[in-house]
Structure 1
């Protein structure tokens, strides 16, 4: 029972966040300085947004950088406000543009921009009420406390963050396997059946990417304590590879189901695998050794069907992949040992990042300028409302602004609704004038419960955080009731500014990125096919390229999902691109299957491999050219090669996959030609050629 409690991801996270916030308050209460303890608890909010609690091989260096930026932002804000006549809007815009260079260094460094701005906004509320050195000391000491506590916490549960990600990955693979093979005959219409399966597949790829990042950030391959988890991750890669493959012959599936009880047998195998994966997910999370597992009866039943119907490829296909999944789950060892290749995430030194940042094509410059203009508008609005320090409006803008339109819209709805409900509850309870110890105990419980819900429901968590914020003001000023209505108005104004900024200030619409993401997906497909059809494909580069194919398609799928939610774009074009993504997913699944065949040296003759490679490259390049050039284009299926170039008659499994890849590429070319005429005719779409980053 205690394992399920202490190792549960939400409970473990809530305990850590609650303790790091509330222990300084408790110490301040014991020392008779509750106000300083409450102010000290503001610093973890900046550290959370900066990602300083991310386990990393450079953990302490990131703490030093983060704490220094917080203190520097505080110093700049106070000096410019107290000793110069520079207006607040100019200060905020300049700070946003200066700190925006962090986003050019890496994605993790980019989180320092909003965190440093929030530190400056917190300082704005304290400026003039205390000496200049006090907020700076508060940020430095608060960052040291936050980093020291989290280091100790991760030392106690060293592997827990990676275990949580791996556990989620195994659960997602279980759901995907069960959904894909549980209702086999209902998957004959890809336009209806594939999107839900595609969403599950992309979640699995997202989690694999997260695990990759965590392993490289921790340098886990150099630490003995992570050896078992490295093996667990490699097992997950094998499982994803075999679960996500596709033969895609619905007519053959239907024929086999009519001739035998194959559907029940395949469902039996899939449910057995899914149940085992969920058990393994719990074993990983709760530090248990897995028990013995066999599924010989299920595999034998599948093998019997494959023998009884030798002319139908579906039974042999399912037996091949399910038997390998069963072997992995039985032995708890990967099918082959691969060296996890080094993370290719872009990291630039400061000088190179600065040069890249000073270009008008820089996405980091655009994002920081957008944020700076929104803060400028918020501060001007505060001045027009005669607010000497409009810090609540500014903080609302910072907290609700996310990377994309869809995420910002959801955060705004949750923030505004949660704040209204929280202020109503706080205003009602303030009339009872609870003693201080009751108020502090209630704040502790509310904080713990809010952190239990924050990762699944930001709105419910906002209610709790709003109540604790009001009571913090009450304990500091003894007059929180007068702040309730102004804070509600400030929150709504901040949400409106953030929404307007995401819609009108240099929006980076995901529908405008669909062409580039589709082009990148085809590029990765081409590299994977080259490796598969090479004379001697090596397992490690092959496995890494397979994951790059999945991740590139994942980026395309995610951008399509976000584009479907964006306003003002041509729905006909997005529907065409949805069909494009569907056929792209089939190609990815065929590449997954061919990767396993190439690794097991199920190869073609050199001449035949060269002919297939030439055919695939011509087809891929035709699709890329149709995406890249604003021309008339062909709408019919062009002949890829001469009729005699590719073999006919009985085909090997590898050839069957390659033939189907060529068929999907022809369909992609046709869809691209049709979709281009449906494209929007404004913004980025006015470019005649595909923009290169």
Structure 2
């Protein structure tokens, strides 16, 4: 039972965050200086936003850079204020100066909002202490935060990777269940495929997170991570075989009508998904798996396959279930991959600065958005005669996310959670409670809030608001005066953040659909060149398969976000959903062809070259349809040759022919979608340009 509690992801995270916040408060209370303890405990909020608790091989280097940026932002906002420069001008310049971090790498980009929150929080300290105290406070707080997290990850060395791997196995189990529960419903793709696509893309998202963690491990060659690396390679094999589809619904229906195959296939799938959930718990709770066998299930499926030799469904399921069962039984991957093949992109500072100074830089646009929002928020505070508008500015920072839909949801949760928290705080401030009991209640509320913050942000905001009110009450005894002004500040901050996301260089995902679709087609072309080319390296094929899944995943995610954005043509998005559905089919065929190529199921060189040329022609037709806003007849690409092979068609050829059929449908959908596309923004550009 204790393993279920102490190793649970949310409880483990909440325990770490609560301790790093409350230990300084406890020490300050014991030594009779509670105010300094409360101030010191506020620094970890900046560190959390900046991602300084992420296990990384350059952990202490990032810690030094992060603490230096916090101190720099704190010093700049005080020094420039003393020079008489207006606060809106300061908040316009500081984000643009610090925004270059986003060009170095995505992880460094998280330092910008953390440094801005440190600068904004310094506004509340100005006038109460010397100029040099807040920078030293941030340096000391960051040092404490880093040392505590280093010690915590030393105690729980494998836990972050175990949590991600456990989620991968659990999501693969859900995907396997959903896929074979809908076995006889696949005749209607409109209803059956969207939930399957969502499950598949969620699994790919989690695999990408694990892949990134492999690069950020503090010791890539450490033997203690060997078992987890092997479990990750097993997950890649499982995803490869589970995600492959036959795409012959009429054959599935025929086999189901002629035998009890549906019950047998579901029996196999249920056994696999149950085992995956057991392995997910074993990984998370540091347990050794027991023995596993599914010989009875495979025997029943093999019997049906022998009774119906002409139906391909039985052989298909038996082939993939056999390999899944072998992986689950041995707990070893089918072959070894080079997990470090993809090196994370990192730019030196000067190169990053050159890239940052271009108007098309995403990091510059993000920093510019923060600059304008913070400038407008501080100018609005000056208009309403608010001397220190730190709550408005911090609300802007906390609710601003990478996309419209995420920002909208975060704003709703933040506003409602703050309102509920202020109501609770207003009701409880009227009671005379001893200071020691208040601190214990704040400790319990902080722990409970962190348990729920990653899944239920709104509920967690209620607890954080209550603790913020009582912190101000303990610091300056003005918690009651804080209530109504902070509610108004929260509402103003949420409105400014929403307006900034809508009007300031928004990253509309519907506008990125065309670019993401083009990138996905290019990745498919590279994969087919490897699969049908003369050189077929198992490691290169495996890595290219991961790139194919990632490219389609980016396309699928942009479509999902575009469906929630305002002011776009729903008919165009409906057409693009069908385009993405056929793209998913191509991904699954490439997954299957990768398996066959690795097992040396190949075509004669001349036949493979003919198929490759035919596929490249179809891919180029789709790419030209995406690149040029004109009539379909203006594309100068030859039609794909038909009937390349007059003899018996092999399994590999079947996959190639289905890819060609999907590409033909995608070209038709693209042509029809142009008439329904939005007529504003980047859609006014006729030619597609590389970002």
TM-score normalised by structure 2 residue count: 0.99
Among residues 684, 689, 692, which one is paired with 2:690 in the alignment?
A: 692
Q: Is the CA contact (8 Å cut-off) linking 1:185 and 1:254 kept in structure 2? A: yes
Partner Cα separation in structure 2 for residue 559 and residue 643 of structure 1: 34
Aligned to 2:679: 681
Q: Deviations over 1:600-644 (max 9, x none)?
A: 0011111111111111111001100100011111599x9843444
Q: Which moved more, 1:58-67 or 1:503-512?
A: 503-512
Q: Which residue of 1 aligns with 2:299?
A: 300
**What is the CA deviation profile of residues 533-592 of structure 1, one whole-angstrom value per residue up to 9, with x for unaligned ones?**
122311111001001100100000000000011111111111100000000000000111
Question: Matched residues in 1 for 2:311 and 2:576: separation?
Answer: 33
What corresponds to 2:324 in structure 1? 325
Which residue number corresponds to residue 206 of structure 1? 205
Query: Are 1:59 and 2:85 matched, yes or no?
Result: no
Q: Is the 1:635–1:674 Cα contact (8 Å) retained in structure 2? A: no
Counterpart in 2 of 1:539? Answer: 538
Where do residues 134-283 of structure 1 align in structure 2 (5 Å cutoff)? 134-218=133-217, 221-283=220-282
Task: Indicate how the Cα distance of structure 1 residues 204 and 641 shifts in structure 2: closer, same or farther if over 3 A, else same.
Answer: same
Deviation at 1:648, TM superposition (A): 4.1
- Equivalenced residue count is 690
* 1:432-452 C-alpha deviation (Å, 9 max, x unpaired): 021101110000000000000
* Equivalent-residue separation in structure 2 for 1:648 and 1:301 (angstroms): 36
Cα 1:677–1:229 shift into 2, 3 Å: same
Check the 8 A contact 1:340/1:540 in 2, yes or no: no
CA distance in 2, matches of 1:435, 1:279: 47
Alignment of 1:375-394 (within 5 A): 375-394=374-393
Taking the aligned partners of 2:493 and 2:210, their CA distance within structure 1 comes to 35
CA–CA distance in structure 2, aligned partners of residues 545 and 557 of structure 1: 18
- Which position in structure 1 is the counterpart of 2:120? 121
- TM-score (structure 1 length as normaliser): 0.98
State the secondary structure of the residue aligned to 1:222: coil
Inter-partner Cα distance in structure 1 for 2:154 and 2:233: 24
Q: 1:376 & 1:160 partners in 2: Cα distance?
A: 41
Q: Take 1:235 and 1:552, find their aligned partners in 2: how far apart are those partners?
A: 22
SS of structure 1 residue aligned to 2:25? helix
Cα distance change, pair 465–389 in 1 and its aligned pair in 2 (3 A): same
Partner of 2:651: 653
Closer, same or farther in 2 for the Cα pair 1:102/1:14, shift >3 Å? same
Return 5+ residue gaps in structure 2 as ranges: none
The farther-off stretch of 308-317 and 415-424 is 308-317
Q: Which residue of 2 aligns with 1:49?
A: 49
Q: What is aligned with 1:524?
A: 523
Report what 1:664 is aligned to: 662
Task: Classify 1:221/1:140 alpha carbon distance in 2 versus 1 (closer, same or farther; 3 Å).
Answer: closer
Q: Name the counterpart of 2:504.
A: 505
The answer to whether the 8 A contact 2:215-2:340 is kept is no
| Alignment correspondent of 2:468 | 469
Matches within 5 A, 1:99-110: 99-110=98-109
Query: Hey, what does 1:21 align to over in structure 2?
Result: 21
- Within 1, Cα distance between the matches of 2:218 and 2:647? 50
Offset, 1:505: 1.2
Please name the residue that 1:587 is paired with: 586
Q: Report the alpha carbon displacement of residue 273 of structure 1 after superposing the two structures with TM.
A: 0.1
Q: Which moved more, 1:601-610 or 1:269-278?
A: 601-610
Assess if the C-alpha contact under 8 Å between 1:3 and 1:286 holds in 2: yes
Cα distance in 2 between the residues matched to 1:100 and 1:20 = 28
Judge conservation of contact 1:221–1:230 (CA < 8 Å) in 2.
Answer: no
Distance 2:337 2:422 in 1: 54
Cα deviations across residues 276-323 of structure 1 (Å, max 9, x unaligned)? Answer: 000000000001111100000111111111111111111101100000
Contact map agreement 1:77 1:91 (CA 8 A) in 2: yes
Offset of residue 19 of structure 1 = 0.1
Q: Secondary structure at the match of 2:54?
A: coil
For the Cα contact (< 8 Å) 2:92–2:371, is it kept in 1? yes
Q: 1:456 is paired with a residue of what secondary structure?
A: coil
SS at match of 2:655: helix
Shift of 1:343: 2.8
2:615 and 2:640 in contact (8 A); partners too: no
Q: Contact between 2:57 and 2:219, CA under 8 Å: does it hold in 1?
A: no
- Match of 2:313? 314
Give the superposition deviation at 1:15.
0.2
Moved more, 157-166 or 430-439: 430-439
Number of the residue aligned with 2:493: 494
Offset of residue 341 of structure 1: 3.5
Query: Helix, strand or coil for the counterpart of 2:162?
Result: helix
- Is residue 634–residue 670 contact of structure 1 (8 Å, CA) maintained in 2? no
| Alignment partners' CA distance in 2, 1:223 and 1:23 | 31
CA RMSD of aligned residues (A): 1.2
**Distance in 2 of aligned mates of 1:333 and 1:686:** 52
Question: Is 1:407 aligned with 2:406?
Answer: yes
What is the rounded CA distance, in whole Å, between the counterparts of 1:58 and 1:575 in structure 2?
A: 45
Is residue 573–residue 679 contact of structure 1 (8 Å, CA) maintained in 2?
A: yes
> Which whole-Å CA distance do the structure 2 matches of 1:577 and 1:291 have between them?
46
Deviation of 1:364 after TM superposition, in Å, equals 1.1
Query: Any unmatched runs of 5+ in structure 1?
Result: none
1:612-627 alignment, distance < 5 Å: 612-627=611-626
In the aligned structure 1, how far is the partner of 2:146 from the partner of 2:232?
Answer: 28
- Matches of 1:513 and 1:183 in 2, distance apart? 32
Q: Distance in 1 between matches of 2:174 and 2:639?
A: 38
CA drift of 1:344 comes to: 3.9
1:640-665, Cα deviation, whole Å (9 max, x unpaired) = 43444x12453111111111010000
**Partner of residue 447, structure 1:** 446
Secondary structure class of the residue paired with 2:573: helix
Name the counterpart of 1:611. 610
Q: Does the 8 Å contact 1:183/1:267 carry over to 2?
A: no
Conserved 8 A contact 1:635-1:670:
no
1:337, CA displacement in angstroms? 1.3
Counterpart of 1:568 in structure 2 is 567
8 Å contact 1:213–1:343 — kept in the other structure? no
Query: Could you report, residue by residue, the CA deviation over 1:134-160 in whole angstroms, capped at 9, with x for unpaired residues?
Result: 111110110000000000000001000
Q: How big is the shift at 1:219?
A: 5.8
Contact (CA 8 Å) 1:93, 1:375: kept in 2 or not? yes
CA distance, structure 1, for counterparts of residue 268 and residue 181 of structure 2 = 9
Deviations 1:312-335 (A, max 9, x none): 111101100000000000011001
Once the 2 structures are TM-superposed, how far is the Cα of residue 220 of structure 1 from its aligned partner? 5.1
**1:404 Cα offset (Å):** 0.5
Q: Give the 3-state SS of the residue equivalent to 1:544 in structure 2.
A: helix
Check whether the contact 2:617–2:638 (CA below 8 A) recurs between aligned residues: no
1:38-61 per-residue CA deviation (whole Å, 9 max, x = no partner) reads 000110000000000000000000
The aligned residue for residue 338 of structure 1 is 337
